[in-house]
Amino acid sequence: MRKFDLDYFKSFIFKNSHTSETDGNICEMSDPHVRTDESADRGNWANKREYMLSMVGYAVGLGNVWRFPYLTYKNGGGAFLIPYIVMLAVAGLPLFFMECSLGQFSSQGPITVWKAVPILQGVGVTMVLVSTLVAIYYNVIVAYSIYYLFASFQSPLPWSDCFSWSDDKCGITPQVVCNLTSGNESFGMVNMTWITDNNETCPESNIVSVPVQSPSEQYWDLVALQRSEGMEQTGEVVWSLALCLLLGWILIGASLFKGIKSSGKVVYFTATFPYVVLLILLIRGVTLEGSREGIEYYIGTQSNLTKLVEAEVWKDAATQIFYSLSIAWGGVMTLASYNKFQNNCYKDSIIVCVTNCGTSIFAGFAIFSILGHMAHVYGKPVSEVAQAGFGLAFIAYPDALAKLPVSPLWSILFFFMLLTLGLDSQFASIEVITTSLQDCFPKIFKSKGSQLTVLTCTILFLLGLPCVTRSGIYWVTLMDHFCGGWVLLVAAILELIGLCYIYGGNRFVKDIEMMIGIKTSWFWLWWRSCWFFISPCVLIIILVWSLLTFSAPTYGSVVYPQWGVSVGWCMTAFCLIWIPIFAIWKVVNAEGSLWQRVKTATSSTEDWGPYLECNRGERYQKQHCYWRKSSLTSPDTDMCVITNIHSIKL
User: 439: helix, coil or strand?
Assistant: helix
Q: What burial class does residue 281 get, using C-beta atoms within 10 Å of its C-beta: 0-12 exposed, 13-18 middle, 19+ buried? A: buried
Position 359, amino acid: T
Q: List 326's β-bridge partners, or say none.
A: none
Instruction: Report CA Rg, the chain.
Output: 28
User: Which of 501, 459, 389 shows the shortest CA–CA distance to 71?
Assistant: 389
**Which residues have CB under 8 Å from 48's CB, separation 6+?**
343
Residue burial 617-633, b: 16+ Cβ < 10 Å; e: rest: eebbeeeeeeeeebeee
What are the φ/ψ torsions at residue 264 (nearest 5 degrees)?
A: -65, -25
The crossing angle, in degrees rounded to 10, of helices 62-74 and 311-324 is: 170
The crossing angle, in degrees rounded to 10, of helices 121-151 and 578-588 is: 150
Pair 370, 285: CB distance under 8 Å: yes
Return binding residues for Na(+).
57, 59-60, 64, 324, 356, 421, 424-425
Paired sense of beta strands 175-181 and 638-642, if any: unpaired
**Which residues have CB under 8 Å from 564's CB, separation 6+?**
231, 232, 474, 478
Return binding residues.
57, 59-60, 64, 324, 356, 421, 424-425
Rounded Cα distance between 366 and 278, Å, is 6
Q: List 110's β-bridge partners, or say none.
A: none
Q: Is the sign of the CA dihedral 139, 142, 148, 153 positive or negative?
A: negative
Q: How many residues does the chain have?
A: 650
Pair 27, 14: CB distance under 8 Å: yes
**Measured between alpha carbons, how far is residue 329 from residues 357, 408, 483 in Å?**
18, 36, 11
Write the Ramachandran bin of 406: left for phi over 0, alpha for psi from -120 to 50, otherwise beta.
Answer: left
Pair 117, 419: CB distance under 8 Å: no
Rounded Cα distance between 529 and 344, Å, is 21
Pair 619, 514: CB distance under 8 Å: yes
Pair 418, 425: CB distance under 8 Å: no
What are the φ/ψ torsions at residue 105 (nearest 5 degrees)?
A: -60, -40
User: 456: helix, coil or strand?
Assistant: helix
Read off the DSSP letter of residue 451: H
Pair 101, 345: CB distance under 8 Å: yes
What are the φ/ψ torsions at residue 407 (nearest 5 degrees)?
A: -60, -35
